[in-house]
C-alpha cells in the first residue's frame, strides 16, 4: 500500500512505509528509487517494530493523518502492539484514520481487535467491500470459491473524548 499511497498523495514526501524486517525496508528503498528516482519529494522507508517505542518513528516523521495496513494481523499477540503503535502515531485531527485490510484467519481475532481498539480509545468500523469491483474480481478466482468471507476492511479513528 505504501507506493500506491505515495503515488496518490499530494506530497509523496509525507509517505512513510515501514516494516520490521530490514531486508524488506531495503527492498522498499529500491522500489522507491525505481519509482521516484532521486526526487527530494519521495516517500521514505523505515524500520518499525510494534514492540519498539513509537516515539522513535514519531521523532523523525511526526504523526500521520492516514495509516494504511494490509494483512498486518497474523497472530493475536500482535494486536495490542499494533493498536498501541497506531494510537501513538495517528494524528489527533478529526479526519485521521487507520485503514486496515486483513485476511480473517480466526474470527476470534475480530473480537480481540475491537476490544483492544476500545481500550486504546479508538473507534472501529468494518467497511463493506461488496461494491468494490477489484474485490469482487479477486473473489471470482477459484482459490476463493469456498472462503468468500476472508478479506475484511476496518477503519479506526480516535474516539470522542
pLDDT tens for 107-155 read 788 889 999 999 999 999 988 887 778 777 777 777 766 665 678 889 9
Q: What is the CA radius of gyration of the chain?
A: 16
Report how far residue 139's alpha carbon sits from residue 72's, in angstroms, rounded to the nearest whole number.
Answer: 20
pLDDT of residue 146: 63
- The pTM of this model reads 0.86
β-bridge pairing 66-70 and 44-47: unpaired
Percent of the chain with pLDDT over 70: 93
- φ/ψ of residue 106, rounded to 5: -150, 115
Decide if 79 contacts 109 (C-beta within 8 A).
yes
Which grid coordinates belong to 52? 519498539
Amino acid at each position: 500500500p505504501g507506493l500506491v499511497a505515495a503515488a496518490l498523495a499530494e506530497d509523496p514526501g509525507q509517505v512513510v512505509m515501514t516494516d520490521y524486517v530490514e531486508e524488506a525496508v531495503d527492498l522498499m528503498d529500491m522500489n522507491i528509487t525505481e519509482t521516484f528516482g532521486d526526487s527530494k519529494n519521495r516517500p521514505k522507508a523505515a524500520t518499525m517494530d510494534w514492540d519498539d517505542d513509537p516515539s522513535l518513528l514519531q521523532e523523525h516523521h511526526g504523526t500521520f493523518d492516514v495509516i494504511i495496513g494490509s494483512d498486518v494481523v497474523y497472530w493475536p499477540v500482535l494486536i495490542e502492539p499494533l493498536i498501541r503503535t497506531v494510537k501513538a502515531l495517528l494524528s489527533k485531527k478529526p479526519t485521521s484514520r487507520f485503514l486496515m485490510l486483513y485476511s480473517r484467519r480466526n474470527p476470534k481475532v475480530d473480537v480481540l481487535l475491537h476490544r483492544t481498539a476500545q481500550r486504546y480509545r479508538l473507534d472501529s468500523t468494518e467497511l463493506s467491500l461488496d461494491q468494490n469491483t477489484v474485490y469482487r474480481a479477486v473473489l471470482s478466482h477459484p482459490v476463493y470459491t469456498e472462503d468468500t468471507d476472508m478479506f475484511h476492511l476496518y477503519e479506526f479513528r480516535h474516539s470522542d473524548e
